[in-house]
Amino acid sequence: MVRIGNIELGEFPLLLAPMEDVSDPPFRALCKEHGADVVYTEFISSEGLIRNAAKSTMKLDIYKKERPVGIQIFGANLDSMLQAVDIVEETKPDIIDINFGCPVKKVVCKGAGAGILKDIDKMEMLTREMAKRTTLPLTVKTRLGWDEKSIKIVEVAERIQDAGAQAIAIHGRTRAQMYKGSADWTLISEVKNNPRMKIPVFGNGDVSSPEKALEMKDKYGLDGAMIGRASIGNPWFFNQVKYFFKTGEHLSPPTIIERIIMAEKHLRMAIDWKGEKLGVLETRRHYSNYFKGIPDFRKHKTKMVTTDFSDDLFSLFAELKENFQLEKLAL
């Protein structure tokens, strides 16, 4: 049984990774409905939170149906991070997560995200002080190191654990790699196999199929998988993995009708959360993934990403469902 603090997650839990502009409440709720064991918010700036910036505070929203949920924050200033912990606690998430892994330049240049991998002492200090500040389980997401020459992930994981983190998720690339090349799970396995490690060690990066998830579990012996890009446009992925674990077979892929229903549901939830204008606008990025690989669908996707009004989109979804249902009956 894998646990984060007192939260029981079963054997080899599947976690939805925090993804900027993706892991919002509607998407997290959909992933939870389809098998995710834990979901994490988009990363939230500690500086934005303490200044009550609307974009940051809105990311604190949580649906009851998505629990257990972790709120992820990033920053490099101790006082700001401690104040952010206090603000986050008020929203009553199940977990607080520290982002020590974002490779994006605008984050790294401020010493936050993966930038802190250049200063392991500070990384440990921030973890310790934040763990003391909160009564909630504190977890950490990080990378193998800043670059290939500075990989010390076994030592880093030990120090993070000793500082009070109750789980660690490790992306199998360095900051220098960004998202290029292949994730190295061997080094994550070394962390897990370290006899001093008592907290769960989750693997992240390139979990792109049920077979890869099983490999992470059986070959590398990790405690769970944190899934990112494979879930975009495919919130069914979590149940696909669990079905494969159970049966050794692949769950049938979602039909075109199921894809349309999912996109429609996603849009309704986004509008409920952010209102008509933003809901329509911010759901656009998901349509190409929901309908990826569908023959002769380009004109419909074009209409989806250029239509400004939800009524027009819902009419399009209704028309598509009817047309594809008729095609199915004609076969």
Domain co-membership, 36 together with 125 = yes
What is the pLDDT at residue 99? Answer: 94
Considering the domain architecture, whether residues 298 and 232 belong to the same structural domain is answered as no
Same domain, yes or no: 153 and 215: yes
Arithmetic mean of pLDDT, 38-55: 89
- The confidence score (pLDDT) of residue 331 equals 39
Non-local (6+) Cβ contacts of 282 within 8 A are: 21, 24, 270, 274
Using pLDDT thresholds of 50, 70 and 90, give the confidence band for residue 329. Answer: very low
Share of the chain above pLDDT 90, in %: 78
Report in angstroms the alpha-carbon separations of 322 from 106, 326, 329. Answer: 46, 6, 11
In terms of Cα–Cα distance, which of 293, 295, 315, 328 is closest to 304? 315
User: Which of these ranges, 53-57, 129-133, 168-172, has the smallest mean pLDDT?
Assistant: 53-57
The reported pLDDT for the residue numbered 328 is 56
Query: Domain boundary residue among 217, 247, 277?
Result: 247
Are 263 and 202 within one domain?
no
* Domain enclosing residue 105, as ranges: 3-247
Lowest mean pLDDT among 32-36, 125-129, 147-151: 147-151
Give the C-alpha separation, 111 to 95, whole Å: 23
Last residue of a domain, which of 216, 247, 278? 247
Q: Is the pLDDT of residue 330 over 50?
A: no
| Pair 176, 32 in one domain | yes
Q: How far apart (Å, rounded) are the C-alpha atoms in residues 104 and 106?
A: 6
CATH code, 317: 1.10.1200.80
- 31 in active site: no
Indicate the pTM of the whole model. Answer: 0.93
> Which pLDDT belongs to residue 327?
56
Residues 132 and 164 sit within 8 Å (Cβ to Cβ): yes
Q: Identify the band that residue 310 occupies on the pLDDT scale cut at 50, 70 and 90.
A: very high
Which of 247, 272, 306 is at the close of a domain?
247
Total domains in the chain come to 2
pLDDT tens, 124-148? Answer: 999 999 999 999 999 999 999 988 8
Helix then strand then coil, in percent of the chain rounded to 5, is 50, 15, 35
Instruction: Let me know whether 212 and 313 are in one domain.
Output: no
State residue 101's pLDDT score.
87
Q: Which of 40-49, 51-60, 245-254 has the lowest mean pLDDT?
A: 51-60
The answer on pLDDT for 177 being more than 80 is: yes
Determine which one of 102, 201, 213, 269 is catalytic. Answer: 102
Instruction: Tell me the C-alpha distance between 270 and 259, whole Å.
Output: 16
CB atoms within 10 A of CB 254: 17
